Structure 1
Amino acid sequence: MQPLLSTFSRRIARTPPPLFLAALYAALILAGALLLMLPVSRTIPLSWSDAIFTATSAVTVTGLVVFDIGSGLTLFGEIVLALLIQLGGLGLMTFAVLILGALGLPVGLTGQIYLREELNQNSMHQLMKLVKTILKVVLVCELAGALLLSASFIPHSGVLRGLWEALFHAISAFNNAGFSTFPDGLVPFATDPLVNLVIPALFMIGGIGYVVLHDIFSGKSPRLWSMHSKIMLLGTAILVPWSVGLFALLEWHNPGTLGQFDSVTARLIVSWFQGVTPRTAGFNTTDIGALHDSTAMLFISLMLIGGGPTSTAGGIKVTTFVVMLLATGAFFRRQSQIHAFGRSIALEEVLKVMALTAISVMLIFIAVFLLTMTHEGHFLDISFEVASAFGTAGLSRGFTGDLSGFGRAVIIVVMFLGRVGPLTLGFFLATRTTPRVRYPAGTIHLG
């Protein structure tokens, strides 16, 4: 028995970390689907397609659903869903390290390597400190969020049910999942001040990235924060007012969204919530299907950008988007070096950004193409759905329920790659190979 375990351990150690992590996520999805199929988990008949789609959406913290969660699942089923969201958002390796730490067991070198890959860190230095920061942030934010939300949900659903809904939405919000137990999402709470403050606070903290939070809570002066944190905070500070203001401008007189509210204050509150949501949270306080086409295109762009690295958010990430803009600006200014906040950005990092962006665009294009072949006449809805799946945002124009079996399979793959794909890409980009033969430079005409 011991030799078999030793051989198995060696094989795991030789497995590329991203492949191992992808396999863990796939195993969790299958386990979640099995649990959701149990009679104790559901109140309605579910097909394997329903269960796998829902489990994938939960583990990838997306939030797309093919049935009403509140009426289709029992309390046990909702607990299973919340655990899948927590595990998927926190990260399986991070969660495993937290459990081992609580039991006083060592993580080991192999575990630290896998954890480093999952948290997108270049070295193991201070890795365990970052994990402890993650634990503190998760516990404080989700418990505080649940406590605050209960003040709004208890009057709506009763004490016990309201407490559970508050905890469920706190977990869903912090992990940027966007799942809701209410049939219309958070539309009944569109103008509730508490919901409009707590839910965005949770998904913005969860989506900004643990590295940034570690810098903020370290007590260091902002001048000493890492360049990553500064770029992430600057990008967020620009994107939030841009998205909120543009949403208000585009939807102010739309009777299906903001136009239904007579009060200017109510319209501004809804604009705030719905403007900050698309970058991966997936909650809605208005009818997403009633958005103008221009607003839908705005949402698509925001969902593709996403949140921060080493966070519960998806998308290509804000830092990737900012570096891409900096590289473009440097090209037009004929600068050979890219810099920000007194630090230079290496050419290797720029190449990673370009590779990640190119692969993301190709994946999205292929998915849209495949869905348009089988769902004729719904191009905007399809593009919105694919962007939401890739960015693990969870917003939908009501098209998720109309997906065929093939369409569901495509969206499942996009959700999985949107969550796990960057890990695999990062592994291959980080693998250095020294060329044995050098070739003379050639000329190619571009543009």
Structure 2
Amino acid sequence: MHLFRRLRRGLERLRHLPPPAQLASLYLGLIVLGTILLILPISNTGSVTPLDAAFTSVSAVTVTGLAVVDTGSDFTIVGQAIIACLIQLGGLGLMTFAVLVLTSLGIPVGFSHRVILREDLNQTSLGNLTSLVEQIFKIAVVVELGGALLLIIDFVPRLGLAEGIWSAIFTSVSAFNNAGFALYPDSLSGWVGDPLLNIVVPLMFIVSGLGFLVVGEIVNKRSWRKLSLHSKLMLSGTAILILWGTLTFGLLEWNNPGTLGGLESTSDRLWAAWFQGVTPRTAGFNTVDITQMREETSLLTIALMLIGGGSTSTAGGIKVTTFAVLIIATLAFFRRRQELTIFGRSIRGEELLKVLALTIVSMLLVMVSLFLLLIFEDASFLELAFEVSSAFGTVGLSLGATGDLTWAGKIVIMVVMFLGRVGPLTLGFFLATRTVPQVRYPEGRVFLG
């Protein structure tokens, strides 16, 4: 009874917190639950410490994919299933699942739940949220089920019936949610030249990385003219980043014996260049040994990881639309234009302020975290910068430093992964809160540049 009363008081306090704090608390609760479940003897083979379990739980809930232990060998099937559930809950959003359950039971979704759901889905309006939830689940079911069935065709002949089916399901869930968790120590390197996997897995994380609103518009409107400005920016920006990442990775690594240069055929090199060109944008899988990448390629990967995917998606980073607005604003400045325009639409100055705030806060988080890691860890600047960028962008790619982190370094990366997933949602709440100035001051001049 005493425990029940304490739990009830805790829930009452939670109800009085601002929506972003409630959302963060829900994710923290899921992380704690996941940690407890992963510590259980039935979940691991005995080599997983409580800190390792906590790190894995944070990485799964934030759909990052960074790992300090091997998912395939250090966790049992039960543990792997728990990780897959954490990935699914964290990727699609906790409130998304809660609203689906309530609507399925015929229970109306209250205002407070809608506010939290709005933050979880990174929306500005309370309208049509339940229909958006239904749309998200339809997309998730279709893509994950279709991806798993296609991967079974490839996995079962190689791995056997039981292992092949489970690997296909786990990989499909991980790919759609942009998690990057794999059941093999070398990720998906065993399929480096396999056409089916190199098409199915990237398409899954590209589709989910676009954002559910964009995918929904494509399905419903089926016309470029009818698409919203957001969708047009996401589609064009994604296409440019994919082309840039693939071509640049291929050119830089073509003759590197540690990556593309060590592959037997030209087709394998092309498939690997395509895969590694698109995976840094929060997917986190790899088909070549990325620890052997050239430094310039690592810098390219860091840039792609920081940009990330789309809003209302399973991806992280500052988001493609944020990066696009920054580029549009820069071009407008050099062209001496006061108004930001693209695709026959204008972008409000208020949106630019939001973009600048999000970018500055994100860069500060990355820089402070990197500074702390340089104090705690005995690794190169590039390795630690890569790990921090991967954690912030919830990507999961690693140059090998994550597995050798001290307990302090692990905690820093855990915090970065959590803030990389929940932080932009919290910041969005404050950016969406408008205040009307009581006094207008005269303009002053500041000399810049």
SS in 2 for 1:339: strand
Q: Pairwise mapping of residues 14-413 of structure 1 onto structure 2 (< 5 A)?
A: 14-413=16-415
Shift in Å, 1:376: 3.8
- The DSSP-based 3-state class of the residue aligned with 1:222 is coil
**What SS does the aligned partner of 1:178 have?**
coil
Q: TM-score, normalised to structure 2's length?
A: 0.96
Q: Give the secondary structure class of the aligned counterpart of 1:62.
A: coil
Partner deviation per Cα, 1:80-131 (whole Å, 9 max, x = no partner)? 0000000000000111111222222221121111111111112122222211
**Counterpart position of 1:421:** 423
Deviations 1:369-399 (A, max 9, x none): 1111122451000000000000000000111
Q: Distance in 2 between matches of 1:265 and 1:227?
A: 37
- Structure 1 residue identity aligned to 2:120: E
In structure 2, C-alpha distance between the alignment counterparts of 1:363 and 1:8, rounded to whole Å: 30
| Distance in 2 of aligned mates of 1:287 and 1:220 | 39
- Once residues 398 and 309 of structure 1 are traced to their aligned partners in structure 2, the CA distance between those partners, rounded to angstroms, is 29
Deviation at 1:437, TM superposition (A): 2.5
Structure 2 distance, partners of 1:409, 1:6, is 30
Given the superposition, is the C-alpha separation of residues 433 and 6 from structure 1 closer, same or farther in structure 2, using an over 3 Å criterion? farther
Deviation of 1:220 (Å): 4.8
Contact 2:124 2:432 in 1 (8 A): no
Q: State the distance in 1 between where 2:124 and 2:222 align.
A: 21
In structure 2, distance between residues paired with 1:86 and 1:310: 15
Name whichever of 98-107 and 332-341 sits farther off: 98-107
Q: How many corresponding residue pairs?
A: 446
* Higher mean displacement: 157-166 or 54-63: 157-166
Q: Deviations over 1:11-57 (max 9, x none)?
A: 55542111110010011001000000000000132211101100000
Q: CA RMSD in A?
A: 1.7
**Which amino acid is 2:293 matched to?**
L
CA drift of 1:436 comes to: 2.2
**Taking structure 1 as the reference length, what is the TM-score of the superposition?**
0.97
**Contact kept? 2:15, 2:22, Cα under 8 Å:** no
Where does structure 2 lack aligned partners over 5 or more consecutive residues?
none
Give distance in 2, aligned partners of 1:264 and 1:5. Answer: 60
Q: Which letter maps to 1:317?
A: K
Q: Deviations over 1:176-201 (max 9, x none)?
A: 00000112110111111111011001
Structure 1 stretch 394-403 or stretch 428-437: which is displaced more? 428-437
Q: Structure 2: how far apart are the matches of 1:377 and 1:190?
A: 29
2:42 is paired with a residue whose SS is helix
Moved more, 372-381 or 280-289: 372-381
Q: Structure 1: which amino acid aligns with 2:167? A: E
Moved more, 309-318 or 433-442: 433-442
Shift of the alpha carbon at 1:4?
11
Where 1:140 maps in the other structure, the secondary structure is helix
Matched residue type, 2:403: G
Q: Distance in 2 between matches of 1:340 and 1:124?
A: 27
* Percent identity over paired residues: 56
- How far apart in 1 are the matches of 2:7 and 2:86? 28
Post-superposition offset of 1:8: 7.8
Q: Distance in 2 between matches of 1:267 and 1:94?
A: 40
Per-residue CA deviation, residues 387-420 of structure 1 (Å, 9 max, x unaligned), is 0000000000111111111100100000000000
Match in the other structure for 1:437: 439
Residue aligned with 1:344, SS: strand
